Every structure is written in structure tokens, then in C-alpha cells.
Amino acid sequence: MKIESAPRLGIWPGAVYRHRVGLIALTIASLTFLLYLLTLAPGLTWRNSASDGGDLLTAAFTWGIPHPTGYPTYLILLRGFSSIIPTGSVALHGNLFSAITASAAIGLLFMATVRILRSLPLSTGITDRYVLISAGVSSISMAASRELWSQATVTEVYALNTLFVSAILWITLGLRDRQRNGGVGWRYGASIGLLSGVALGNHLTIAAVILPLLAWGILGGGARTLRVGHALPIMVAGALGLCVYAYAPIASSQAPVLNWGHPDSLQGFWWMVSGTVYQGYAFGVGGQELWDRLVTSADLLFAQFAFVGVLLGFAGFSIIWAHRRYLTVTLLVSVVILIAYAVSYRTVDSFIYLIPVFMLFSIWIAAGTLRLLSNINVIQQALPTMLSIRHSVIAATFLFVIVAAVPGFSIITNFSQLDLSDDHEAADYSVAAFDSMELESIVLTRTENSVFSLWYQSYVAEIEQKVMPVSVPHIVFDWYWDDLVIQFPERMPTTRPESMQDRVLAIIDHNLGINPLYEADSGMTALPGLRLVEEGILFRIEPE
């Protein structure tokens, strides 16, 4: 059994082959973008677990700090991307940014898959054409998978995360190829380090992919000695990439309208980066619920790739395991870590963390497809009635069935659910809420949807209204109270009560009869001397 074999030469010269791979990758990325563009949300949306979009957009376009872990890479890239788009709302720009980064991720995933497939010593009857076709089918299957598709049409950090996963995998494979040819590959190492540092500024869960790949790359695919020529560029460039987190204290020191945790202090910076406020969710699931979530994660695999895709994936895994053992173990470590974290993280949307797992599984689908094509002669010998059928006809039939059963099935079954092109619920809510309020109103918000949507509307879309949105769940944090005092000194009390309820009451008492007061979610309990009067989609707070 061969392990970590050298890449096959193929039938095309190297330069020609690279150009073909690049052109096909661009074509696949373009087709993927077209799918996402057709189903793109036109603006602010709550669908697909994207209610955080209002928070991220507000932070990006006010140079502020969103919820932990801060996502400085995402904020900087989104703001830069929006600056070159001449038309449309910034909410649309956020959705478009996800579509473009997810599409680019699919293109790079195709290129990484080709690199892996070319190193598999399959049948001599298999040409590089079949390698490209197999990688293309698997990449398109990943593009049409439900979880990635759901995040490619909304404002969230996960589409950009997939781009970093694909890029780091592709470059690490390049580093290993360089090692096989006897080179040090310090340029690859520096690229991996820089990308890894910047990627950690987007979403920390990518560490589950980065660390195993770095170990595999630095150790030379199983070498027992550490290669300083590889490790040093990675570490130096990685430290440089992590400097993206300098955004947090710099932006926080300017007192932006969103300033979660005030990371311009050491304590605030650690609170933000470590996600202290959310640490109770991590590994917070156990017992029967943990088992149920494991079963759900297995069901999700079939939901992404259907039965045919899963069958091909496990068939492909066996051949990659046989010939690229160290790489397979590396990727399995990432898979196990991500699954363990996703199923034990106590939130309803934690399964989105499995998107990199599905990306890795798509590579196994490619290997399974290639294995099927390599065994057509064997199938013909086992079924004499097929001997008269041309090899290319059988291959085309198999590929048609795979495309129809995996990406085709996913597109047909998920299109109506994932098509957000006519989704205006969140945007209409925000506009209607502002239409219900007078100038310089105060609105109490209590749910994630209303809080983040009205933050976006107040601080980005309709600044001239001078609305003061008060997030009741956040009022318990001193930093949030202090921010409101800085932004709205005349509408905030001079003293800060201790409890959340007392703080809300203090704001109401300070403004009642002076500034218009509204409740967004009718969640305020009955209070002596006050009543809620329905006004548009809000409730006006008035004295009895």
C-alpha cells in the first residue's frame, strides 16, 4: 500500500494543465455565484440564522465593535468591499460580499481537490480529464449544499470563513508538493501563516482546520524532525496576520456607537476575544440531548449530499485513506473537533460550524467519483451485457446520475426555502418601526431580531431620525450604559441603578412626558402608572 504518493504527471504539460484548472475553477465559481445571486436577500434579513447581520453591518459602517469575538477581519473586508460597490444599500453589499466569498471558496476548493486527486494512483485508463470532472462535480455539490447556500445569501461571517478554509487547504497542499521536490517552500509557509492569522480574525473556529494542517505541513507529512525552514515563516507571518486584532482597541478608543466590551482596555479586549459572555454555551450539551444532536449532525450530512453523495464520500474516503494516510488523519482531526464543538454548543444555529466538515467530505465525494470512473472496465467485465457500450457513454451516464442525485436534487428541493430574493420582512420591519416613531424617540428592544435591526436602522440607514434604541438585554452591562450616556447625554439619567429592571425604569422616568417612548416587542411587564398604546408596529409608552 502506498502512502503519501507523489503526484501523477497526467497527460497535459504542467503549464497547460494549471491554466485548465484555473479556468475551470473560475467557471465553477461563476456558476456558483449565479446561483447565489439569484437567491440573494435584497437587504437586511432574519432568515437563515442571519439576525446578527444588523449588528455586523452597524459595526462595519460605523467603525465599531460587534458582538464577541469582534470579527475584525470581516468588518475591514466588508467595509472595503462596500466602498467599491457604486449602488445599493450597505445591507445588500453585506449579502453580496457573502455570495462572492462563498463562490471564490468553491473555486479554490476545486483546485485543492484536483491536487489531492492527482496524487492518487488509480487506473491507468483514468485521464486528467476525469480528475477535473470528478473535482468539478464534488465542488458543485458543495456549492449547492444547504448549509453553505444558506450562508452565501445573507450578511454573516461564515461565507468568508469557507474562503479561508479553502485557501489555507490549497496553499498547504502546495507546501507539501514543494517539500516532495526538495524545496523549503518558505513562501508557501509565509502565505499559510499570514492567511491563518487573518482568518482567525474572522472566526476562531477555523483554528480546528488551521492547527492540524499546520502540523501536517511543518512536519513534512510524517517527518519526525521539525523543519525550521517551514515553521519560522509560518510563525512570523501568522503573528503579522493576527495584528488584524489591533482594529479592536483602535476602533474602541474612538467611542463608536457600537462598542461591545470596550476592548481598548486589556480586560475588555480579553472579554471580546475570548467570547466570555458566550462561554457558557460551549460544551453545554450533554446526555440524551448530546446524542440527539449527534444524530442530527449525521442527518445533516445526508441533507447536504443525499444518499448518493454520502455513498460516494465513504467510498472516496477509503481510497484517500489508503494513499494519503497522513493527510486523511489531519483532516479527520479537524472533522472530529468541529463536530464535537458544533453538537455541544448550546445554540440553535451551531450546526453552521459544520460547513468546513462538509467541505472536506466533498473532497471524498470527488475521490469516490473518480474511483467509480476508474472501475468502469471492471463493471463491464462483471456485467457482460455492458461490454458493447462504449466506456465514455457509461462514464457520462454515471456522471449524469451523480449530478442529478446530488447537486441537482439539492437545488430542486432547497430552492424555494433558500430563495431570499423576495425576503423583505426584516427591512420592512425596520422601516415601519421608524415610520411609527417621532423624531428623537426612544425605543426599548428585547429580541435579537428587533435589537440588531433597529441598531442598523438608527445608526446606519436613518441617522437623521436621531432615534435612541435601547437594548434591554444589554442594559445590564455597564459598558453599554456608558455608551448610551455618551451618545444621548440628555436622554440618559445621571445615576446608574444596579439591576436591569431599575435601569429600564430609570430611562423611562427620565424621558416620560419629554421624549417619545416606545416598546418594540411588547415584552414590558405591567408597571404602575404606565400603559402601552399600539402605534403602528410599536407600542407607545404613556402615563395612565
Percent of the chain with pLDDT over 90: 73
* Phi, psi of 65, rounded to the nearest 5 degrees: -120, 115
pLDDT confidence bin for 183, thresholds 50/70/90? low
Same domain? For 321 and 409 the reply is yes
* Phi, psi of 88, rounded to the nearest 5 degrees: 90, 160
Same domain? For 539 and 493 the reply is yes
Alpha-carbon span 93 to 327, nearest angstrom: 37
Exposed e or buried b per residue across 159-182, where buried means at least 16 C-beta atoms within 10 angstroms of its C-beta: bbbbbbbbbbbbbbbbbbbbbeee
Looking at the DSSP bridge assignments, the partners of residue 517 are 442
Its pTM stands at 0.93
Same domain? For 444 and 414 the reply is no
Helix (H) or strand (E) holding 141: helix 128-143
What's the burial of 447, exposed, middle or buried (CB within 10 Å: 0-12/13-18/19+)?
Answer: middle
Strand order in the sheet with 530-535: 468-471, 442-445, 517-519, 538-543, 530-535
pLDDT of amino acid 394: 81
Q: Where are the alpha helices (DSSP H) in 152-277?
A: 158-180, 186-200, 207-218, 228-242, 247-252, 266-273
Q: Other C-beta atoms within 10 Å of 274: how many?
A: 13
Query: Tens of pLDDT along 16-67?
Result: 677 889 999 999 999 999 999 999 999 999 999 999 999 999 999 999 999 9
- Identity (one letter) of the amino acid at 245? Y
User: How many Å separate Cα 403 from the centre of its chain?
Assistant: 25
Percent of the chain with pLDDT over 70: 90
Would you say residue 250 lies in a domain?
yes
Same domain? For 368 and 304 the reply is yes
Range of the domain at 496: 425-543
CB 68, CB 260: distance < 8 Å: yes
Helix (H, G, I), strand (E, B) or coil at 13: coil
Same domain? For 408 and 498 the reply is no
pLDDT of amino acid 147: 97
Would you say residue 121 lies in a domain?
yes
Give me the mean pLDDT over the 493-500 stretch.
Answer: 93
pLDDT for 3 beyond 50: no
pLDDT of amino acid 388: 63
Give me the mean pLDDT over the 343-367 stretch.
Answer: 94
pLDDT for 411 beyond 90: yes
pLDDT for 7 beyond 80: no
Same domain? For 127 and 230 the reply is yes
Query: Tens of pLDDT along 267-321?
Result: 999 999 999 989 888 888 888 889 999 999 999 999 999 999 999 999 999 999 9
**CA-based end-to-end distance of the chain:** 83
pLDDT confidence bin for 522, thresholds 50/70/90? confident
pLDDT of amino acid 103: 98
Same domain? For 199 and 87 the reply is yes
Would you say residue 298 lies in a domain?
yes
Alpha-carbon span 8 to 50, nearest angstrom: 44
pLDDT of amino acid 178: 73
Query: Tens of pLDDT along 227-267?
Result: 566 678 888 999 999 999 999 999 999 999 999 999 999 99
Q: Other C-beta atoms within 10 Å of 5: how many?
A: 14
Alpha-carbon span 193 to 217, nearest angstrom: 11
Same domain? For 414 and 435 the reply is no
Same domain? For 169 and 154 the reply is yes
pLDDT confidence bin for 224, thresholds 50/70/90? very low
Q: Return the closest-CA partner of residue 204 out of 157, 246, 239, 236.
A: 157
Query: Tens of pLDDT along 287-300?
Result: 888 999 999 999 99
Q: Is the peptide bond before 69 cis (omega within 30 degrees of 0)?
A: yes
pLDDT confidence bin for 6, thresholds 50/70/90? very low
pLDDT of amino acid 13: 54
Would you say residue 335 lies in a domain?
yes
Would you say residue 2 lies in a domain?
no
Alpha-carbon span 309 to 5, nearest angstrom: 26
Identify the DSSP state of 63. T
pLDDT of amino acid 5: 45
Query: Tens of pLDDT along 422-479?
Result: 999 999 999 999 999 999 999 999 999 999 999 999 999 999 999 999 999 999 999 9
Would you say residue 396 lies in a domain?
no
pLDDT for 130 beyond 70: yes
pLDDT of amino acid 521: 86
Same domain? For 414 and 430 the reply is no
Alpha-carbon span 173 to 187, nearest angstrom: 13
Would you say residue 4 lies in a domain?
no
Q: Return the closest-CA partner of residue 311 out of 408, 414, 401.
A: 401
Residue 167 CB contacts under 8 Å (≥ 6 apart), including other chains: 105, 108, 195
pLDDT confidence bin for 185, thresholds 50/70/90? low
Would you say residue 398 lies in a domain?
no
Q: Which three cell numbers stand for residue 411?
A: 437545488
pLDDT for 385 beyond 50: yes
Looking at the DSSP bridge assignments, the partners of residue 470 are 444
Same domain? For 334 and 453 the reply is no
Give me the mean pLDDT over the 347-372 stretch.
Answer: 94
Same domain? For 120 and 223 the reply is yes
pLDDT confidence bin for 8, thresholds 50/70/90? very low
Domain count, the chain: 2
